[in-house]
Amino acid sequence: MSHYFTNDENLKSEFRKLEYKYQDFSFCFISDNGIFSKDKIDYGSKLLLETFIKNNKSVSNVLDLGCGYGFIGIVLNKVYGCKVDMCDINSRAVHLTKMNIKNNKADCNVFESNIYENIVNKYDYIICNPPIRAGKSVVMDMLENAKNYLNKNGELWFVMKKDHGLKSTLKTLEKQYHLEVIIKSKTFYIIRAKIVDL
Ligand SMILES: C[S@@+](CC[C@H](N)C(=O)[O-])C[C@H]1O[C@@H](n2cnc3c(N)ncnc32)[C@H](O)[C@@H]1O
């Protein structure tokens, strides 16, 4: 069975268009089979993105970790004009993101990476809707090791549903980060994790 995080070259393509508006910006994203939330923009991703923007006046660089078809990173690039790197383990997702960058006239860098394997830079922000279905170890690797790819005073922003192991995740992360719940909506929580200054 194919998952949204596996590379399945035999899976037939069926492109669809997802429209999104933020303030004066209009976006059109191409999505496909074998991609996370292929038929509509995910509620958690939208909440994460919009909460992030409301809470950050200016942003100069960001990593969109597990970018899918590119929704979060592309919108951030257009809204802030910031430098955006995006990565995903799924080559179809990376291919779609390249198309979506071009179609939305964005300026982002996208590449394949298994978690942080191909990440060489450090960022002021890492933003992530983690792949719960890929399992706890992948999710915790993404969240716990973000600190190694953040600049001083950098922040990790992520979304998690309460019933997706939020409590135990926060318990583990609180050893390394100052955590703040920025907003709760339905059962989704948006968390800001700042590196603890020693
Ligand atoms: C919940 S989806 C979010 C996608 C996108 N950010 C969005 O908001 O629509 C998580 C993404 O993580 C990717 N992913 C899963 N395992 C990964 C891994 N080991 N390394 C990098 N990305 C991974 C999946 O392919 C998927 O695109």
Q: Report the separation in Å between the CA atom of 82 and the middle of ligand 1, taken as the mean of its atom positions.
A: 21
Instruction: Give pLDDT tens digits for 36-73.
Output: 999 999 999 999 999 999 999 999 999 999 999 999 99
What's the topology of domain 42-195? Rossmann fold (3.40.50)
Q: Is 135 exposed, middle or buried (0-12, 13-18, 19+ CB in 10 A)?
A: exposed
Is this model's pTM higher than 0.85 or not?
Answer: yes
- Going by DSSP bridges, is the β-strand pair 83-88/109-112 parallel, antiparallel, or unpaired? parallel
- Bridge partner list, 191: 158, 181
Q: Say how many Å lie between the CA of residue 198 and the centre of ligand 1.
A: 31
What is the domain partition of the chain in residue ranges? Answer: 42-195
- pLDDT bracket for residue 1 (50, 70, 90): low
Q: From the CB of 34, is ligand 1 less than 6 Å away?
A: no
Give the residue whose CA is nearest to atom 11 of ligand 1: 66
